[in-house]
Amino acid sequence: MLKQEDKLTIEIHGVINEESHAVLSMLYYPLIKEKAFLLYHLLVSLCENKMTFENHRIIHAISGFSMEVIEEERKRLEKYQLLKTYYDSKKNQYLYAIIPPKSGTDFLEHEVFGRLYLNNMGEQVVKFQKLNFLPQIVDKDQYKDISECISDVLRDDWNESFEETYQQVKKDIKNSKQEFASVFNYDEFLNGLSDIVWPKKSRSKKAMEEIGKIATVYGISPKQMKVLVAKSCSPKDKMLDLALLREKAAASRAKFETDEVNIYKWPPVRFMQNKQNGAPVSKADAETIRVLLEDYKLNPEVCNVLIEYVLNTSEQKFVRNYVESIAGSWVRAKVDTYEKAVERIHRPTSKTGSKIKKVEVKEEGMSEEERQKILDEINAMKGQMGNGKV
């Protein structure tokens, strides 16, 4: 049984932002209830504010919960995939790994959570939440994963009627998803955008999606995008020329401005620019990144992990056919989140010890000796990722 004296470390795996808090309050709360909700926020606060603590006494004192309740609610958070718990028996030390809530979309279409929420809240509430949420680390080698499983949280009274409604809700969610994962801040872009520059009647859904795609591919901030849109609108009827906008975005060398401190959430072109100490990204490398985002449809965070991985395992070379070979394997393996990408590059080698036996490496102006050096690096790679430079 859990005791106040049991040692404790807390870490957050991912980013908890405003949307995370909204999802937690509006979607998770009705299922996990008050005590688990409070415990989650308490753990997040202890971690984010870097408070000094060594054991469970602080949690007991602040929450007022008994140790039995703390353990019970911790297990509830584990079942709802908001927490992973590891235990080192030699040190009598727990490690609580806080998992950010799923996005609203992912929660509502989750095979278990979506059904539970529909069953508990009803179809009208689910429809309301769809409108709200659809688109418009410690070494654990010595720890054992002792987290509770999700298998027993689905209620016994689920019936065919609930199942039919759930499947329709899930279908609606999937149909509403964009294939391209944009990291563009539309609110900031539209704030103060004059009707004279670009009339509201011309702001179609397709045009807005293209703007987000172009901004993500070429690393254009909302402020910069306003300028480029103004320059890409016809003087006569103010219709936006998307082809001209893309051309201007690709040629832009404006300084990138963002309040986002997590560089893995940056547009990939700007992530690579940060990797090379602010030097502009070459046209060839930018085109390769465009292919990763538009053709392979990699999530920008996944793309950034891939970029860092390739640079770290190829002596800072970014050879397109090698990059695409990795991207193809990640797509086939359904690596579609930052967490899956990091797990992919840190996974142990196979039992057979197989490595990439042959990779075609071509780059203009590269000597045979340089090509061979890259091949040697690829064949010897260990799948380790370096730290990002902020």
Kindly give, in sequence order, each residue whose CB lies less than 8 Å from that of residue 126, ignoring residues fewer than 6 positions away.
108, 117, 118, 169
β-bridge mates for residue 233, sequence order = 240
Shared domain check, 233 and 361: no
Shared domain check, 223 and 154: no
Q: Examine residue 181 and state whether it is found in any structural domain, yes or no.
A: no
Kindly give, in sequence order, each residue whose CB lies less than 8 Å from that of residue 317, ignoring residues fewer than 6 positions away.
310, 311, 363, 374
Kindly give, in sequence order, each residue whose CB lies less than 8 Å from that of residue 214, ignoring residues fewer than 6 positions away.
220, 242, 245, 246, 249
Q: Examine residue 390 and state whether it is found in any structural domain, yes or no.
A: no
Number of domains the chain contains:
3
Shared domain check, 130 and 19: yes
pLDDT of residue 387: 40
pLDDT of residue 41: 93
Q: Examine residue 385 and state whether it is found in any structural domain, yes or no.
A: no
Shared domain check, 363 and 283: yes
Shared domain check, 112 and 33: yes
Q: Which of 156, 176, 196 is the last residue of a domain?
A: 176
CB hemisphere CA count around 154 (13 angstroms)? 12
pLDDT of residue 206: 83
pLDDT of residue 258: 77
Shared domain check, 166 and 73: yes
Q: Examine residue 256 and state whether it is found in any structural domain, yes or no.
A: no
Q: Examine residue 260 and state whether it is found in any structural domain, yes or no.
A: no
3-state secondary structure of 16: coil
Could you tell me the residue range of the domain that residue 222 belongs to? 186-251
- Supply angle C-alpha 35, 41, 44, rounded to 5: 140
Q: Examine residue 225 and state whether it is found in any structural domain, yes or no.
A: yes
Q: Examine residue 272 and state whether it is found in any structural domain, yes or no.
A: no
Quote the CA–CA distance of 17 and 345 in Å, as a whole number.
25
Shared domain check, 223 and 90: no
DSSP 8-state symbol, 136: -
**Which one, of 263, 285, 291, 295, lies nearest residue 363 by Cα?**
285
Asked if residues 126 and 27 have their Cβ atoms less than 8 Å apart, the reply is no
Q: Which of 251, 266, 288 is the last residue of a domain?
A: 251
Shared domain check, 148 and 37: yes
pLDDT of residue 268: 92
Shared domain check, 228 and 153: no
Quote the CA–CA distance of 301 and 264 in Å, as a whole number.
5
Shared domain check, 168 and 192: no
Q: What is the pLDDT tens value at each position of the chain, 390 positions in all?
A: 899 999 999 988 877 877 788 889 999 999 999 999 999 999 999 988 777 788 999 999 999 999 999 999 999 999 999 999 999 999 999 999 999 998 888 888 888 888 888 888 888 887 777 767 665 445 556 777 777 665 555 555 555 666 666 666 666 555 544 456 677 888 888 888 888 888 888 888 888 888 988 998 888 888 899 999 999 998 888 889 999 999 998 888 777 777 778 889 899 999 999 999 888 888 889 899 998 998 888 999 999 999 999 999 888 999 988 899 899 889 888 898 999 999 888 875 443 333 433 444 444 445 566 556 555 555 554 343 344 333
Shared domain check, 66 and 158: yes
Report the chain's C-alpha Rg in angstroms.
Answer: 24
Quote the CA–CA distance of 357 and 352 in Å, as a whole number.
13
Q: Examine residue 263 and state whether it is found in any structural domain, yes or no.
A: no
pLDDT of residue 195: 80
Phi and psi, residue 206, nearest 5°: -65, -45
Quote the CA–CA distance of 174 and 142 in Å, as a whole number.
40
Shared domain check, 245 and 128: no
pLDDT of residue 351: 39
pLDDT of residue 178: 47
